[in-house]
Amino acid sequence: MKRIGVLTSGGDAPGMNACIRAVVLTAAAYNLDVVGFHHGYNGLLDEDYQTLLPQHVQHIIQHGGTILKSARCKALYTDAGAVQAAQVLHKLQLDALVIIGGDGSFRGALAIAPHYHGQLIGVPGTIDNDVDGTDFTIGFATAIDTALDAIDKIRDTADAFERIFLVELMGRHSGYIALSAGIAAGAEQIICPEFGPVSKAQLTKLLAPIQHAQLLRGKSSYIMVVAENSYPGGTIALAEDLSAELGTECRACILGHIQRGGKPVGADRILATKLGAYAVEQLVNGAHLMMAGELNQQAVLYPLAQTGERTKQIDPYLVRWQQQIASD
């Protein structure tokens, strides 16, 4: 093995730069050349890349975003796109490609695989923590802290006005961020896909704990953390529907992309460094179509094809506890 490529794909996550750095520094230790593609798979299709030397990754470990830029690439999921991607990898004489992204980005690698003679390895980078085969994804820990900072601030104003607030957090179809940040923020109620669907017809399910908390516990503020995609029409519609039912104004705050930015916290820098380094080492050992993940603090290889099976469970103990305190 002489030359490898690396790209960041899908929703950027704090710690992606730390991972690029680890890939480049580890590759240098094995005398491998590294090429970094810009804008995810788009850079691969467009042959938009740069050589990455250790000096190019100096002092990037502390920055959010990704120096390689990121994107989602529809063209890759056509046969022509996958063939073209493999052709570019062959043309640039790349023996392997490291893909830093979520399971959607790993599907791109699986599409390229039948046409490519080299090795493909994934590293889980997404704030959503929804990738099977790793306890945590790069970016999740930072996203939780960012969400917490915001929810703590909302608590101040919610307390001052004795208001009910709904705070929508990201996660696509996973409630990992919502449940974790909600618990850490002391949210009174958490709505996420794992707790079952909520529709307008089932609003009473949400109302009872609010009325209970207000009447019996004299709560001055009430924070409901809502995972995105939890309510038809979205979280603003949910706030309006709750306002109508309760006869009191509920405010909604959509945290949005703020959760994707910022300096990566220590845990993300360490995870990104470990998994980026491990991915390169395992390529040298011959790994192909695997993801470099971490389970029980051990770096492990996990089949790329199984990373999107959604078997990963949110901590059932915390789920039970949260549901219990919401209704007590």
Active site residues: 128
Count interface residues toward ligand F6P (CB under 6 A). Answer: 10
Q: Tell me the residue ranges of DSSP E strands in 52-163.
A: 96-101, 119-124
Query: Smallest distance from the beta carbon of 72 to ligand F6P, in angstroms?
Result: 7
DSSP letter at 264 equals: P
Q: What mask, x for binding ligand F6P by CB under 6 A, covers residues 16 to 55?
A: ----------------------------------------
Exposure of 35 by Cβ count < 10 A (0-12 exposed, 13-18 middle, 19+ buried)? Answer: buried
For ligand F6P, the closer of residues 115 and 172 by Cβ is 172
Interaction between residue 268 and ligand F6P (CB under 6 A): no
Q: Which tokens hold the place of 101?
A: 């992204």
Interaction between residue 158 and ligand F6P (CB under 6 A): no
Using alpha carbons, list the distances in angstroms from residue 247 to 14, 222, 241, 244, 280.
41, 15, 10, 5, 58
Q: How many other CB atoms sit within 10 Å of the CB of residue 95?
A: 17
For ligand F6P, the closer of residues 4 and 123 by Cβ is 123
Interaction between residue 127 and ligand F6P (CB under 6 A): yes
Q: Which of residues 201-240 bind ligand F6P (CB under 6 A)?
A: 228
Query: Smallest distance from the beta carbon of 169 to ligand F6P, in angstroms?
Result: 8
Interaction between residue 115 and ligand F6P (CB under 6 A): no
* CA dihedral for 20, 307, 304, 110, sign (positive or negative): negative
Q: Which of residues 83-102 bind ligand F6P (CB under 6 A)?
A: 102
Residue with tokens 């919401």: 326
Residue nearest to ligand F6P (CB): 11
Stretch that binds ligand F6P, among 47-55, 86-94, 124-132, 203-211 (CB under 6 A): 124-132
Could you give the CA distance from residue 314 to residue 4 in angstroms, rounded to a whole number?
Answer: 35
User: Can you tell me which of 172, 219, 263, 288 binds ligand F6P, judged by CB under 6 A?
Assistant: 172
Could you give the CA distance from residue 137 to residue 4 in angstroms, rounded to a whole number?
Answer: 23
21: CB partners within 8 A, 6+ apart: 57, 60, 61, 273, 276
Interaction between residue 11 and ligand F6P (CB under 6 A): yes
Could you give the CA distance from residue 173 to residue 118 in angstroms, rounded to a whole number?
Answer: 33
User: Can you tell me which of 38, 260, 269, 274 binds ligand F6P, judged by CB under 6 A?
Assistant: 260
Interaction between residue 180 and ligand F6P (CB under 6 A): no
User: Can you tell me which of 126, 142, 180, 307 binds ligand F6P, judged by CB under 6 A?
Assistant: 126
User: Can you tell me which of 120, 170, 239, 265 binds ligand F6P, judged by CB under 6 A?
Assistant: 170
For ligand F6P, the closer of residues 43 and 139 by Cβ is 139
> Residue type at 287?
A
Q: Which tokens hold the place of 231?
A: 């309510």
Nearest residue to 272 via CA among 55, 8, 36: 8
Which residues of the shown chain bind ligand F6P in the complex (CB under 6 A)?
Answer: 11, 102, 126-128, 170-172, 228, 260
